């Protein structure tokens, strides 16, 4: 699939992967709709794009699921249609299960799972009417296997795989595609912004994230996966082999993660 001149809606576009993706896609002369909570940061990303006149800023909060129908209407009206929705927005978590408030589990499900589902369902009739559309879902390797101190995050990401696998099956007849992007460690602020046991931000970078893939390198690989319309793409360093180990033996991946320094 060629990305040139596509109309692409990106959530979580104010920083990290979303920001880098927006800038990279602008070089394909894509028309972009950028969404996140912080309008001021979205405006900064817009100005970094190749042609800011082809960028529409649409603030949203994924936790406000009831607003998604109206937001989707505005997104469609921005350029008349949408070709690709990149579900990139979300939050992470770092805390032991035994200490983590159920409010944190609920927050992760509301934002990472239900927010993504709500915005995708709001756009689905448009894709079906067009008999064309592509969901790009930024999941995680933690959506394929789990790790320490990320229980709520892993749960939400695993749930996304269940939902979008079903959507892909139901709407194959409508030529609606789904690509899962499953990052390993990428050097962004995801760890700093991760919620801890009481719902406060971790507010510091961990070693594995600090040594992860450069975000621009990651985005190049991500764009390749989107262009190839892959079902799933696992992008990372050594940690991506956990997916293969999980297929071979759940016991093997258990030992692999225990022996790694994932914290």
Q: How far apart are CA 218 and CA 83, in angstroms?
A: 22
Residue 215 and residue 16 in contact, taking contact as beta carbons nearer than 8 Å: yes
**Residue partners of 53: CB distance under 8 A and separation at least 6:** none
Site of tokens 């699939």: 1
Active site residue 113: no
| φ, ψ at 137 (rounded to 5°) | -110, 115
User: 113, 153, 204, 231: which is the annotated catalytic residue?
Assistant: 153
Residue 257 and residue 232 in contact, taking contact as beta carbons nearer than 8 Å: no
Q: How far apart are CA 60 and CA 105, in angstroms?
A: 21
Residue 123 and residue 133 in contact, taking contact as beta carbons nearer than 8 Å: yes
Positions marked active-site: 153
């Amino acid at each position: 699939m060629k990305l040139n001149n596509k109309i692409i809606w990106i959530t979580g576009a104010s920083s990290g992967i979303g920001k880098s993706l927006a800038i990279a896609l602008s070089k394909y002369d894509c028309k972009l709709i950028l969404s996140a909570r912080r309008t001021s940061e979205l405006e900064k990303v817009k100005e970094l794009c190749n042609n800011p006149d082809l960028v529409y800023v649409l603030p949203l909060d994924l936790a406000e699921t009831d607003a998604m129908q109206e937001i989707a209407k505005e997104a469609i009206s921005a350029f008349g249609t949408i070709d690709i929705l990149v579900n990139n927005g979300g939050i992470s978590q770092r805390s032991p299960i035994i200490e983590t408030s159920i409010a944190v589990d609920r927050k992760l499900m509301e934002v990472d799972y239900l927010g993504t589902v709500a915005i995708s369902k709001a756009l689905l009739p448009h894709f079906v009417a067009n008999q064309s559309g592509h969901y790009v879902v930024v999941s995680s390797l933690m959506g394929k296997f789990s790790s320490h101190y990320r229980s709520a995050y892993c749960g939400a990401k695993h749930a996304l795989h269940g939902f979008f696998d079903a959507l892909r099956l139901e709407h194959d007849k409508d030529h609606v595609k789904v690509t899962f992007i499953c990052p390993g460690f990428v050097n962004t602020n995801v760890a700093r912004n991760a919620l801890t046991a009481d719902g406060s931000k971790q507010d510091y970078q961990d070693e594995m994230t600090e040594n992860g893939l450069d975000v621009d390198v990651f985005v190049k690989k991500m764009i390749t996966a989107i262009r190839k319309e892959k079902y799933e793409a696992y992008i990372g360093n050594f940690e991506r082999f956990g997916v293969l180990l999980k297929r071979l033996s759940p016991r093997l991946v258990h030992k692999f993660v225990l022996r790694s320094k994932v914290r």
